[in-house]
Structure 1
Amino acid sequence: MELMKPAYMILACLLALPAVPRATGQIATVPALDEKPLWELWQFHLASSNLHDAVAERCAEMAKSTHLYPLTLVAEGLGAWHLLKAEKQDEAVKLLDKLAAQPASGPSLPVAAANLGKGWLTRIDRERVRAALQAHYRQEVQYPDNLEPLQKLPAEVRPPARDRYNKLWSYRIVNFKKLRGFQNQKYELSSNTLGARSDLKTELARPYGDAIRLKPVRIMSATPGRETITFERTVGDKTETVHLSVGSKIDDIEFAYLGPRLLILGDGSHWMIMPRPR
C-alpha cells in the first residue's frame, strides 16, 4: 500500500503530479504546496501513532497556520483523538467544540469536521449520563425507568438530555431473564445517531481509521464540480467497486476533500488521507 512507503518517496511523487481542478462543493482551491504540511503531519501520525503528546503537539502547530484552512480542521480532529488517547479530555474538548461549530451544510470538509466533533462530544456526554445514572442507583438501588429524573439533578451534575445531534438518548431497562425480583438493575444507553459506536472507551480502543477501507483507484470523471473517484473496498472475500464524488457518503464514510495532490475520507471518528489517484 502506497501510504506505507517512506514519506519522502511518496511526497516526491505527489509533488510531481500535475494539478487538477477540484470539485466546486469545497472551499476555494488549496494550493498543492499547502497540502504538504498536512501530508507530513499524517506521515508523522502513522509513524508515531502511540506518541500521543508528540503528535498532538504537531497537530496544534499546523492548526496555527490559519491560511491552510480548511485543512487545519483535519489537524485539529487528529489532534483531538491523540489528546483523548493521552487522557487529556479537557484539551480535546476545546478542539472538538471548535469542530462541532463548523457549518452543518456547505463545503464538504467543514461538514465532515462538524460530524467528527459532534461524534466524540456525544460519546463524552454519554459518560456524563452514565455517571448520573450511577448516582441515581446509589440512592435508589435501581436505575430509573427513563431519563427524566436525571433532569431534576442539580445543574452541576445534570447531564445533557440530548446528544450533540440534538436527538434524545436511546435508553431502556434490560431486566435479567432468570433472576426474578431484581428489577431495573441493568440498562442500555446509546446515541440514536452513533448507535453501536456510542461508547467512548470502545471507540478509543479501535485502531485509527480501521473502518475506512476504501482504496482510490482512478478518476472516473474530472469534470470540475462533478469530479468522481473510483474506489475499491473489500467486503468479506469480495472486492467491490464504488464511485464517490466529493461530499457523498457510503455507509458512514464521507468523501470530505479532493485536492490537487490529496484526498480525505472521514467516518465521523477518524480521518484517512491518501494520494489523489491519477
Structure 2
Amino acid sequence: MPLHINILALGMLLLILLAPPPGRTDNIAEHERAVWQAWRVHQAQPHQHEAVVLACQPIDQTNPLRGVTWGLAAWHLLQLNKTNEAAAILEKMERVGQETPLLAATSEMARRWLTRMDIEKVRQALQIIYRQEVAYPQNLTVLSRLPQAPPAYDRWGRPWQYELSTYKKIPGLSGQRYHLHSRNLDDEARLAEALARPYGARITLKPVAAADQSSAPVQFITSANPTPIWLSEGAAYDHLSFAYSGLKLVILTDGDHWLFAPKP
C-alpha cells in the first residue's frame, strides 16, 4: 500500500480515537449549559448576590465544572458578608485536586480567598495583643497563646510575612504599625480591597477563533494588544490562566475571578 495512503489512514484513526464518544459529548454539552446559565445570571445581575448564589445551587455534583460555580457563589456570599458559608464552599474548592487545569485553577482560587480570610483573623488577633500591650508584638509567635489562635501559615503552607514599621516623622515610637502579607499574594492580601475590585475586570483576553476539537488551542486578542495569540488549555498569559477549553465554552481566570465566553 502506498505510504501516503498509510499516513492518511493513520491520521483518520487518530481522529476517531481522540474524538469523545457521542454520549460523552452530550454530557459535556449539558454540563456546559448548566454552568453557563448560572454565569448569565451573574452577568445580568452582578449586584444581586443572593440571586447569583441561588442560580449556582442547582449544579449537579457530578458536573466536572461545578468548581467554577462554587467560586462564583463564594464570591457573592463574601459580598453578602456570609463568610462562614463562603468559607465552607472555598474549603471544598481547595480540595478538588490538580488533575486538570480547571481543577488546579479552582484550588488556587480557593487558596487565595481563604488566605485573605485567614489573614483577617491574624489582624484581629494582633488587635487583641495591641489592646493588652499598647504595642504590636515583635513577631507572631505570641498569637499562638491566644484562646482562639489564628492560622500561623497561609494556604500554601508558608508563614506570614510580618514586620514592625515606624513613623518617619515620629522617631523612637515603635510597635505602633506593622506590615502583614502572604508571599503568594503580596499587596493583594487585604480581603476588603480584593472584594472591591469589579468582578473579572482584569481578564482582558477575548477568544476570536478556535480549532475544531474541544481541547485544541484557542486564539485570543486583548484590548491592549490586538495581535492574536494562540493558547492551549492550561496556558498562562499576563497573569491570566486559560483554565478550560470545552465544546462551546472557554473559561479564563485571573486567580480571583472567572470569565466565561462562548467558544468561537
Give SS of 2:62's match: helix
What is the rounded CA distance, in whole Å, between the counterparts of 1:98 and 1:265 in structure 2? 20
Q: Match of 2:4?
A: none
Describe how 1:168-247 pairs up with structure 2 within 5 A.
168-219=159-210, 227-235=216-224, 238-247=225-234
Q: Match of 1:261?
A: 248
Identity percentage over the alignment?
40
Q: Any conservation in 1 of the 2:219–2:229 contact (CA below 8 Å)?
A: yes
| 1:46 pairs with one of 15, 20, 43 | 43
Root-mean-square deviation (CA, aligned residues, Å) is 2.1
| 1:252 pairs with one of 231, 239, 252 | 239
Q: Match of 2:133?
A: 140
Q: Match of 1:56?
A: 53
Give SS of 1:268's match: coil
Residue deviations 1:47-79 (CA, integer Å, cap 9, x gap): 1111111110111122xx1232x2111111100
Query: 2:124 aligned with 1:131, yes or no?
Result: yes
What is the rounded CA distance, in whole Å, between the counterparts of 2:236 and 2:69 in structure 1? 21
1:114–1:166 distance in 2 versus 1, CA, 3 Å: same
Q: Any conservation in 1 of the 2:218–2:231 contact (CA below 8 Å)?
A: yes
Q: Any conservation in 2 of the 1:22–1:260 contact (CA below 8 Å)?
A: no
Give SS of 1:44's match: helix
What is the rounded CA distance, in whole Å, between the counterparts of 1:33 and 1:96 in structure 2? 24
Higher Cα Rg: structure 1 or 2? 2
Q: Match of 1:15?
A: none
Q: Match of 2:109?
A: 116
Q: Match of 2:149?
A: 158
Query: 2:251 aligned with 1:276, yes or no?
Result: no
Partner amino acid, structure 1, of 2:192: K
Shift of 1:181: 2.4
Residue deviations 1:140-187 (CA, integer Å, cap 9, x gap): 111112212212322xx2111110111111112221111022112111
What is the rounded CA distance, in whole Å, between the counterparts of 1:114 and 1:153 in structure 2? 30
Q: Any conservation in 2 of the 1:116–1:269 contact (CA below 8 Å)?
A: yes
1:73–1:224 distance in 2 versus 1, CA, 3 Å: closer
Give SS of 2:120's match: helix
Residue deviations 1:220-263 (CA, integer Å, cap 9, x gap): x55776x222211233xx54543321112123311111110000
1:22–1:268 distance in 2 versus 1, CA, 3 Å: farther
What is the rounded CA distance, in whole Å, between the counterparts of 1:112 and 1:168 in structure 2? 22
What is the rounded CA distance, in whole Å, between the counterparts of 1:22 and 1:139 in structure 2? 65
Q: Any conservation in 2 of the 1:222–1:228 contact (CA below 8 Å)?
A: no
What is the rounded CA distance, in whole Å, between the counterparts of 1:34 and 1:162 in structure 2? 36
- Larger RCO, structure (CA 8 Å, separation 6 or more): 1
Q: Match of 2:28?
A: 31
Number of aligned residues: 244
Structure 1 stretches of 5 or more lacking a match?
A: 1-20
Q: TM-score, normalised by structure 1?
A: 0.82
Structure 2 stretches of 5 or more lacking a match?
A: 1-16
Q: Any conservation in 2 of the 1:260–1:276 contact (CA below 8 Å)?
A: yes
Q: TM-score, normalised by structure 2?
A: 0.86
Describe how 1:57-76 pairs up with structure 2 within 5 A.
57-62=54-59, 65-68=60-63, 70-76=64-70
Q: Any conservation in 2 of the 1:23–1:258 contact (CA below 8 Å)?
A: no
What is the rounded CA distance, in whole Å, between the counterparts of 2:62 and 2:74 in structure 1? 20
Shift of 1:267: 1.6
1:196–1:240 distance in 2 versus 1, CA, 3 Å: farther
Q: Any conservation in 1 of the 2:153–2:160 contact (CA below 8 Å)?
A: yes
